[in-house]
Structure 1
Amino acid sequence: MSSSRPPSAPTSSAPARRSPRSRRRLIAAIAALTVAVAAVVLAFTLDGGSSSSRTAGGDAPAPRDSALLALARRDADDPLALGRADAPVVMIEYADFQCPFCGLFARETQPELIRRYVDKGILRIEWRNFPVFGQESEQAARAAWAAGRQKRFWQFHEQGYGKPRERNRGEFAQDKLVAMARAAGVGDLDRFLEDMRSDQAGAAVQRDREEGYRLGVVSTPAFLINDKPILGAQSAATFRQAIEDAAKAARGE
């Protein structure tokens, strides 16, 4: 880039200039990263639930995206996950406890997916807290994480989504969250409150949220089934097809 100011004389403290070749490599790397991120953002923004894993010609499987596949944590001790850590398909869910469509998915679709795929070792579900509706959403996310510390996350999840709830009307106030934790079988409620208020809870929730933002998630629920993004509480058939396509791809079919 040209400048109207004359170049300064070099000094011993001036940073070393990159060579033209190094600058070209850096620009190429940044461009490649930008394209990759934009592609995922576009997929999350425009995906309407089509779950075909094949190319437009329909003759060969689309290449798998290793960067997206690597987002699955596959931690056998993760209390916010269901299913085998080595399952061929991982469904990551970014969700908010105040999201009505997340609740719809939890009540109407997820139980079928658990029976059909998780219980058979095909699918693993990994939860990501993605609070987007304000303070009560943030509190609910922290409470869910705290319940997980006592191995009761999924029981708390069932309580939180057990029925439709009004958003930001006190349904996830602290006393209600404690009642949900009690109903979920959380044994030590003092520890639950301490964990919920901790910096560790805040960091865990923020980690999940930042992961979602990096992917381009802007609304809930959002899902990543291996490397296939799905936005919204789509039909059970859409999820079945995406899971079965991902299982075939994992087998190399």
Structure 2
Amino acid sequence: MKTKKSRNILLALVLGVVVVLTVVFVGAAAQKTRLDEADAPAASAASAESAAALNLEHRTANDPVAMGAGDAQVVMIEYSDYRCPFCGVYARKTQPEIIKKYVDTGRLRIEWRDLPVLGGTSMSAAVAARAAGEQGLFWQFNEAVYAAAPEKGKADLSEQALLGFAQQIGIPDLAKFTVDMKSPELTAKVQADLSEGTQLGLNSTPTFVINNEAIPGAQPMEIFSQVIDAALAQAK
């Protein structure tokens, strides 16, 4: 006869298996995560600030790191690292489809956030991209970096390589670009993005946020369409 203690142990094991299976099933089925109180930092003085930060849309006029109409129905926020191979996959394969289907039709705005989690070179690349943005060529620089990124492994984004991308896209004032690559103001903007992502619990790239729905990784176009279409329906 099983003792009460052994029955309790068995019950605990069964419940543990159920919880694990439930988590796996939900994660595989949804392929996206809700950014809500459960994902915020532990209860503290920063919790209220983190909750307020969930209003992530900037919609800043003439923002060099945003793409699309300021009054677009939906905003998609992209947290990425220039050395992340999966960010490159998204930029090359999926982003052009999203731009054609949603941005060019005025329904979606994309707002970039730097999440340089792969070291100092990632930080330097992020500042360099913003330096290109100071001359109106942020997205061209972004595209050039990701177009040259390897399918696997991390890109070599030395200072010389970054200058090469600037020349490739035709930065008009290379001297200014070189100075801006070391700009404390642009560095602070990158660090502010990194802090925002860290407060939200984001530690991998790319991650996309639409109406506080997080899409992790370089998902296929179908996943993006599903979330964007749902957001558009809510915005009507």
Q: 1:140 Cα shift?
A: 0.5
Q: State the alpha-carbon separation in 2 of the partners of residues 86 and 159 from structure 1.
A: 28
> Residues 81 and 87 of structure 2 are in contact (CA less than 8 Å); yes or no, is this contact kept in structure 1?
yes
Q: State the alpha-carbon separation in 1 of the partners of residues 212 and 234 from structure 2.
A: 10
Per the normalisation by structure 1, the TM-score is 0.72
1:3-51 deviations in whole A, cap 9, x for unaligned?
xxxxxxxxxxxxxxxxxxxxxxxxxxxxxxxxxxxxxxxxxxx685259
Q: 1:111 Cα shift?
A: 0.1
Q: 1:225 aligns with which of 207, 210, 213?
A: 210
| Paired residue secondary structure (1:164) | coil
> Residues 76 and 84 of structure 1 are in contact (CA less than 8 Å); yes or no, is this contact kept in structure 2?
no
Which ranges in structure 1 are unaligned for 5 or more consecutive residues?
1-45, 53-65
Q: State the alpha-carbon separation in 2 of the partners of residues 244 and 68 from structure 1.
A: 24
Q: State the number of aligned residues.
A: 193
Per the normalisation by structure 2, the TM-score is 0.77
Q: State the alpha-carbon separation in 2 of the partners of residues 196 and 164 from structure 1.
A: 20
Within 5 Å, which residues of 2 pair with 1:212-251? Answer: 212-251=197-236
Q: 1:67 Cα shift?
A: 4.6
Q: Which has the larger radius of gyration?
A: 1
Q: 1:122 aligns with which of 107, 130, 147?
A: 107
The corresponding residue for 2:31 is 49
The corresponding residue for 2:14 is none
Within 5 Å, which residues of 2 pair with 1:31-46? Answer: none
Q: 1:229 Cα shift?
A: 1.1
The corresponding residue for 2:38 is none
Classify 1:85/1:155 alpha carbon distance in 2 versus 1 (closer, same or farther; 3 Å). same
Percent same amino acid at aligned positions?
A: 47
Q: State the alpha-carbon separation in 2 of the partners of residues 230 and 80 from structure 1.
A: 20
| Paired residue secondary structure (1:161) | helix
Q: Give the superposed CA RMSD.
A: 2.2
Q: 1:185 Cα shift?
A: 2.0
Q: State the alpha-carbon separation in 1 of the partners of residues 55 and 116 from structure 2.
A: 23
Q: 2:161 aligns with which of 151, 176, 180?
A: 176
* Structure with higher helix content: 2
1:145 partner amino acid:
R
Classify 1:211/1:157 alpha carbon distance in 2 versus 1 (closer, same or farther; 3 Å). same
Q: State the alpha-carbon separation in 1 of the partners of residues 200 and 60 from structure 2.
A: 21
- Structure 1 segments (4+ residues) deviating >2 Å: 46-52, 66-70, 163-169
Q: State the alpha-carbon separation in 2 of the partners of residues 237 and 51 from structure 1.
A: 16
Q: 1:168 Cα shift?
A: 5.8
The corresponding residue for 1:11 is none
| Paired residue secondary structure (2:209) | strand
Classify 1:76/1:222 alpha carbon distance in 2 versus 1 (closer, same or farther; 3 Å). same
1:205 partner amino acid:
V
1:213-244 deviations in whole A, cap 9, x for unaligned?
11111100011012211111111100011000
Within 5 Å, which residues of 2 pair with 1:154-173? Answer: 154-165=139-150, 171-173=156-158
Which ranges in structure 2 are unaligned for 5 or more consecutive residues?
1-26, 35-50
2:162 partner amino acid:
L
> Residues 32 and 214 of structure 2 are in contact (CA less than 8 Å); yes or no, is this contact kept in structure 1?
no
Classify 1:218/1:82 alpha carbon distance in 2 versus 1 (closer, same or farther; 3 Å). same
Classify 1:67/1:116 alpha carbon distance in 2 versus 1 (closer, same or farther; 3 Å). farther
